[in-house]
Chains A and B, each alone.
Chain A
């Protein structure tokens, strides 16, 4: 029986338990709702929870654990000489068995022990599925009888149900934590695996990025995994993006909050924010198809050699995408500066722009720095624009017209196509991802800290 079918059965049983529980409560009270502690649906939910929750937990555990156990049993039952094979040969055998089990076509001739193992895996899986169906549905039935037997007019069904619901809420809010734990653990695990093949100092301080193909790694010519060129590309492109986004974002925020008429503001602010809502793949396409060729043609007409995928193109487009982040955050911060400071400045005879430059900006500066840092972390983690517009050659260059590459581009390029999870060529992506995660996390925490501290200052 498939797990989906079992799930459906359990859900049906849950529904039936609700009805039965509700009826039974009414029956025990002799049809008088007032004799009951809680209202009838609570009794129904009480029985339904007993029927469904233990069974569903078991089902979930089973679905997760069963394949691993079956895998292990099958692997241990392979002949000794096969188990003694080197890891890459062994993984090939396992792939063949997996293909046989799934009924896919296999390449080359299949050894007899693989056929045998596949048959064993299939029979084990079939047995396990039946065992699961019996156990899960049995548990649901036991839960149902247990819950139904406890129904009595004095049972505080509502309190029980509400306590269960509260635990449900706690579990949901723990998912946020679990996600972070999942991110850190999964990447840490694969990163450590990577560092067992490539020393960390070669990764963090290496000046050359040349991973080779995963097949090439086998015959001794290991690739080089230097982080520095990728990090430089990321920083370089982010820098160009900030050179576009910070002045434009800041100036438009100042104009909108200090000068613009209310109706102008009501129209222009949402229009600018559309820029942040456009999917990044659209910016990537625009950079690739319009801006890149445009910059190349302009460069050619003044005698500069501009690559079609250049740091400049990616940086400018990314800068445009980030304008709304800078402007709306700065807008909030500028509005938080108290009017009294401005009035004081006007009273001394300063013009409006002098007030802004000498009074409002210095007062708002920490908050603006915070918002710029948030924008930087956004730029560092941006993927699609750089994948499409920045190129793939990892170079340490200062020339904005040359193509550079970034950490995110390499994560994508190392993880698309055929994957092999025990080659450093694939695993390096997780090390890159962990580096990216750590950098953006620190930037975010620091920036949020600054912004919050600043906000409290004038409250």
Chain B
């Protein structure tokens, strides 16, 4: 070994020393390319995360203002002669009474407005169109107030609201502003008197549709979306689980099951608007179901959710080890008993996780709902799923198209509420998986 090695080293020593690194410049550039490539990767990820952060920050910055609404404190004289002529205090008279007149009198007194009609009109414009409804609700809740002078908080108009929130510039020339100089002076006076301030905007969560931004709310949309989710849960979950059980446990591998399988995979990728066309042609035209009804929306969404449920259920049924099935079969259970008593309970967390994720996707879906008439101006709460309603994403779509400045912040707030629902649902899915998922 050493004998043969020695002449070799001697021979090498005779030659000029060879450079270990052939071309430093080239290596440097290769390393630079390596660093550049990594930087591209980081930049790509940074772009994605930046966009995500930008989206959320924009929505929060635009939307948090809508949680508050400018309200006015007026000392309203609940005149018995106006409210209950002839001393009759019942629901019908109270509902039909002229609350606007009471509010306007109170406002005139507060601002010291005389009988000048232009001045009066400008003063009245400070009040929301729906303020009489708010006063009606107060009086009807407590009829003993009639005849007294009570301080009430009622909504100011959207123009006042945007002024208080600093969303319109005060220094524009008067004819380019929605509020005149005199009105701004009144607003400032009311603010100084502590009669006009921002308070929590409960109407946003409770009210139905309204063309006055300060009265518009998402109550109908939230209820409509809940009805739809109920329909999805009641139809997509049982049907999806049954289909998955059949495909996974009973079906022989043949052309029929292959066809079903290809079908399910394709249904999962069909554009959502196509489901809307299906709903329009089949549910509305053929079966004559009502337009704008949450039950139709729910059925369309459950057809969309079905593939998600089936795929998730099949995966979690597959994850149940065969030993469990064999043990149950071994003690004499029938195949159906094995499935209902053992396989499904063990697969349940996975099934529910998949269902919740599918429902979260359905909750945010808009396009198919546009085609079955969920774009509707619905003021009253739907009593049943067959009554007209809207849905959260559709409400967002409608508000996004409204021209008033005040609707921008309301749209953002609506989006935040929708996202909050989605986050809660996804977090529930993750928790369910963490808490109950078993590994064999």
Which chain A residues have a beta carbon within 8 Å of chain B's beta carbons? Answer: 64, 67, 158, 162, 165-166, 168-170, 172-177, 179-180, 182-183, 186-187, 189-190, 247-252, 254-256, 259, 268, 271-272, 274-275, 277-282, 284-286, 288-290, 320, 323, 351-354, 356-357, 374, 377-378, 380-384, 387-388, 408, 411-412, 415-416, 421, 429-430, 433, 436-437, 440-441, 444-445, 448
Q: Please, how many angstroms separate the alpha-carbon atoms of A274 and B285 in the complex?
A: 37
- Given the interface contacts A158-B334, A285-B396, does A176 sit within 8 Å of B274 by beta carbon? no
Q: Please, how many angstroms separate the alpha-carbon atoms of A120 and B212 in the complex?
A: 45
- A176, A187, A352, A416: the one contacting B267 at CB < 8 Å is A176
Determine the chain A residues whose CB is within 8 A of the CB of B440 once the complex forms.
Answer: none
CB within 8 Å: A-B pair count: 236
B37 in contact with A173 (CB, 8 Å)? no
Known: A282-B415, A286-B55. 12 other contacts (CB 8 A): A173-B242, A182-B282, A183-B277, A249-B44, A252-B44, A252-B48, A268-B45, A268-B49, A281-B397, A282-B364, A289-B411, A377-B269
Segment of B111-119, B152-160, B258-266 engaged in the interface with chain A? B258-266
Q: Please, how many angstroms separate the alpha-carbon atoms of A325 and B281 in the complex?
A: 31
15 contacts between A and B (CB under 8 A): A162-B334, A169-B250, A176-B307, A183-B274, A190-B281, A252-B48, A259-B41, A271-B49, A282-B55, A290-B58, A351-B31, A353-B37, A354-B30, A354-B34, A437-B271
Q: Smallest CB-CB separation from B287: which chain A residue? A: A64
B385 CB → nearest A CB, Å: 12
Asked if B129 CB lies within 8 Å of chain A CBs, one says no
- A189, A255, A381, A415: the one contacting B274 at CB < 8 Å is A381
Q: Smallest CB-CB separation from B366: which chain A residue? A: A281
Q: Smallest CB-CB separation from A354: which chain B residue? A: B30
A388 in contact with B400 (CB, 8 Å)? yes
Q: Smallest CB-CB separation from A165: which chain B residue? A: B336
Asked if B370 CB lies within 8 Å of chain A CBs, one says yes
B246 in contact with A179 (CB, 8 Å)? no
Q: Smallest CB-CB separation from A408: which chain B residue? A: B273
Determine the chain B residues whose CB is within 8 A of the CB of A268 once the complex forms.
Answer: 45, 49
B245 CB → nearest A CB, Å: 6
A384 in contact with B42 (CB, 8 Å)? no
Q: Which of B407-426 contact A (CB under 8 A)?
A: 408, 411-412, 415, 418-419, 422, 426
List of 5 A-B pairs having minimum Cβ-Cβ separation, nearest first? A381-B271, A255-B41, A279-B364, A186-B281, A172-B242
Asked if B95 CB lies within 8 Å of chain A CBs, one says no
Asked if B33 CB lies within 8 Å of chain A CBs, one says yes
Q: Please, how many angstroms separate the alpha-carbon atoms of A280 and B363 in the complex?
A: 11
B358 CB → nearest A CB, Å: 12
- Given the interface contacts A281-B396, A286-B58, does A173 sit within 8 Å of B419 by beta carbon? no
- A251, A254, A284, A411: the one contacting B371 at CB < 8 Å is A411
Q: Smallest CB-CB separation from B45: which chain A residue? A: A252
- Given the interface contacts A166-B336, A176-B310, does A383 sit within 8 Å of B367 by beta carbon? yes
Q: Please, how many angstroms separate the alpha-carbon atoms of A251 and B36 in the complex?
A: 12
A380 in contact with B271 (CB, 8 Å)? yes
Asked if B51 CB lies within 8 Å of chain A CBs, one says yes
Q: Smallest CB-CB separation from B243: which chain A residue? A: A173
Q: Please, how many angstroms separate the alpha-carbon atoms of A64 and B364 in the complex?
A: 31
A221 CB → nearest B CB, Å: 27
A248 in contact with B30 (CB, 8 Å)? no
Determine the chain B residues whose CB is within 8 A of the CB of A284 once the complex forms.
Answer: 397, 400
Determine the chain B residues whose CB is within 8 A of the CB of A440 once the complex forms.
Answer: 269-271
Determine the chain A residues whose CB is within 8 A of the CB of B265 once the complex forms.
Answer: 444, 448
Q: Please, how many angstroms separate the alpha-carbon atoms of A429 and B306 in the complex?
A: 25
A415 in contact with B280 (CB, 8 Å)? yes
A379 CB → nearest B CB, Å: 10
Q: Which of B251-303 contact A (CB under 8 A)?
A: 251, 259-260, 263-267, 269-275, 277-278, 280-282, 285-288, 303
- A179, A282, A437: the one contacting B303 at CB < 8 Å is A179
Determine the chain A residues whose CB is within 8 A of the CB of B336 once the complex forms.
Answer: 162, 165-166
A414 CB → nearest B CB, Å: 10
Asked if B239 CB lies within 8 Å of chain A CBs, one says yes
Asked if B52 CB lies within 8 Å of chain A CBs, one says yes
Q: Please, how many angstroms separate the alpha-carbon atoms of A247 and B366 in the complex?
A: 29
Q: Please, how many angstroms separate the alpha-carbon atoms of A377 and B285 in the complex?
A: 28
Residue interface mask B95-117, A partner, CB < 8 A = 1: 00000000000000000000000
